[in-house]
A = this chain, B = another copy of it.
Amino acid sequence: MSATSDIREIVEKNNSMLCIGLDLDQKRLPTDYASTVRGWYDFAVAIIEATKDIVAAYKPNLAFFEERGAEGFSLLEKIIEKIPDEIVVIADGKRGDIGNTAGHYATAAFDRLRADWVTINPYMGYDSIRPFLDHKGKGAFILCLTSNPGSRDFQLLHVLNKPVYMYVAEKVAYWNKEQNLGLVVGATHAEQLAEIRKVARDMPILIPGVGAQGGNLEKAAICGTDDFKHPALINVSRTVIYASQGNDFAEAARAEVEKLNAVINELRSKDSKD
């Protein structure tokens, strides 16, 4: 089984393309959960328990745990243990270093945290990505065109007839011999997402930027999959996990996931009738 076929399988089984970003932020958590490590753990586990049959993936962003130092790292290990095996876990660290060093990051993410996929920054090129591909059944999403304003600074620079991010997309598609690479493309760039989908062949695309950042869900689903022909994961973080500030946060998260799934699945059923 390749890392990509694991994504296809869970999307099918749970009838969902959603990835839930586990961005645990002290300032946003319900008061009863905000101040202790135990509170963070209980919050995350409640979100997982409430949504695990209707999502495809969870994506903890490592920054939120790194900020808490050693106890943050232990906490993340414990949270990941509570995620069912069949659900994809993406360690979102956007790491990238020279080959020898990148191997240590790969061990941290795959062997210690037991994540299934990672996110990687492409700036340092192939030897910074290569060590992540040596772990059987594991995969790496490479940043291509990100959802933030700063994506304009370098990713959109034009090299001859195309932007830097298209070079990234093409190179990554070429490197994808083992069905273990994917791309990160922000929902805030829907048109470019459709173009990238064409060169991405059958690679999965991880799509952040829906919701708080302003990306459109319907466009992300259609452009990111080329009308549901190829795999994509749409990430939602704050709109789901902070759907309620009260102690009903887990039910509110589930309701929000159901709403988002329904929007996507209606598009999908329309598409299959066309």
Q: Quick check: A71 and B69 within 8 Å, CB to CB?
A: no
B contact residues around A67 at 8 Å (CB): 104-105, 107-108, 112
Tell me which of B102, B121, B158, B167 contacts A123 (CB under 8 A).
B121
Interface residues of A in 135-161 (CB under 8 A from B): 143, 146-155, 157-160
17 A-B pairs, CB-CB below 8 angstroms?
A67-B105, A67-B108, A67-B112, A68-B112, A70-B70, A98-B213, A123-B155, A124-B155, A125-B148, A126-B149, A126-B153, A129-B150, A154-B168, A154-B171, A157-B164, A158-B159, A159-B159
- Within the assembled complex, what's the spacing in Å between the Cα atoms of A77 and B112? 20
Does any Cβ of B come within 8 Å of A226's Cβ? Answer: no
Q: Quick check: A155 and B125 within 8 Å, CB to CB?
A: yes
Does any Cβ of B come within 8 Å of A127's Cβ? Answer: yes
Quick one: closest B residue to A127, CB to CB? B150
Does any Cβ of B come within 8 Å of A228's Cβ? Answer: no
Q: Quick check: A121 and B149 within 8 Å, CB to CB?
A: no
Interface residues of A in 85-117 (CB under 8 A from B): 94-99, 101-102, 104-105, 107-108, 112
Closest 9 interchain pairs by CB? A125-B150, A125-B153, A63-B104, A70-B70, A98-B148, A127-B150, A70-B73, A66-B108, A67-B104
B contact residues around A152 at 8 Å (CB): 125
- Within the assembled complex, what's the spacing in Å between the Cα atoms of A155 and B125? 8
Does any Cβ of B come within 8 Å of A180's Cβ? Answer: no
B contact residues around A158 at 8 Å (CB): 159-160
Tell me which of B77, B104, B124, B128 contacts A66 (CB under 8 A).
B104
Q: Quick check: A150 and B124 within 8 Å, CB to CB?
A: yes
Q: Quick check: B150 and A108 within 8 Å, CB to CB?
A: no
B contact residues around A95 at 8 Å (CB): 63, 94
- Within the assembled complex, what's the spacing in Å between the Cα atoms of A77 and B95? 20
Q: Quick check: A63 and B94 within 8 Å, CB to CB?
A: no
Does any Cβ of B come within 8 Å of A231's Cβ? Answer: no
- Within the assembled complex, what's the spacing in Å between the Cα atoms of A223 and B129? 30
Q: Quick check: B63 and A97 within 8 Å, CB to CB?
A: yes
Quick one: closest B residue to A148, CB to CB? B98
